[in-house]
Structure formats: structure tokens, C-alpha cells
Amino acid sequence: MPTWIINALSHQSTLCYYERMSEIVFEISEDDTDGGFIARALGHSIVTEADTWEGLRANVIEAVRCHFDEGKAPAVIRLHRVIDELIAVA
């Protein structure tokens, strides 16, 4: 269903379509201070943490459900974790 958005500063209106997001991406980092993991959503103000990977997954699901209105949450949550490891050769 299209919705008209009116910009109060420019007095212009724009036709926007609001659809359910298909995916939300979280960047995962390890908490260097306390151990465990921190998840930060890209493009949204959602941050959560946990001591274990299983706990983090549960916390991310709960945080997404709390952040979005009913029926507006994304269908898929992607947890993006990059592991940076240095290996000595000599």
C-alpha cells in the first residue's frame, strides 16, 4: 500500500511503498573486555550481547522482535562474523 510522505522543510511530497524487510544484517564482534559476543544491526539502532553464541542468537531474535512493529520485522536475520587471525610463519 503506497503512502504519501510530506517533507516539512521543502514542502514536497513523495510516494513511498512500505514493505516488510526481507533481511536484517548484524555485524558480530567478540567482546575483548568481558568475553562473549556483541551484535550490531547495520542500518538500525539495535545492539545486543551475550556470553555464548547460542545466547547471542536468542538475544538477536528478541531484540529484532522488540524493535519492529508487529508484522514489520524482517523475514531473515543474517549474523555476519569475521574472524581475524594472525599466524606466525617463522
65-75 residue pLDDT tens: 999 998 889 99
6-19 per-position pLDDT tens digit: 445 555 555 554 55
Q: What percent of the chain has pLDDT over 90?
A: 60
Q: Is residue 13 part of a domain?
A: no
In a domain, 29, yes or no: yes
User: Is residue 42 in some structural domain?
Assistant: yes
- The pLDDT tens digits for 13-56 are 555 545 566 999 999 999 888 899 999 999 999 999 999 999 99
Beta bridge partners of 28: 39, 81
With a cut of 60, say whether residue 3 has pLDDT above it: no
Q: Is residue 50 part of a domain?
A: yes
Q: Is residue 89 part of a domain?
A: no
Q: How confident is the model at residue 90 (pLDDT cuts 50, 70, 90)?
A: confident
Which pLDDT does position 13 carry in this prediction?
Answer: 52
Is residue 15 included in any domain, yes or no? no
Q: Which domain holds residue 38?
A: 21-81
Considering the domain boundaries, does residue 2 fall inside one?
no
Count of the separate structural domains present in the chain: 1
Tell me how far apart the alpha carbons of residues 87 and 72 are, in angstroms, rounded to a whole number.
44
DSSP for 17-59 reads: E----SEEEEEEEE-TTTSSEEEEETTS--EEEESSHHHHHHH
Q: Is residue 6 part of a domain?
A: no
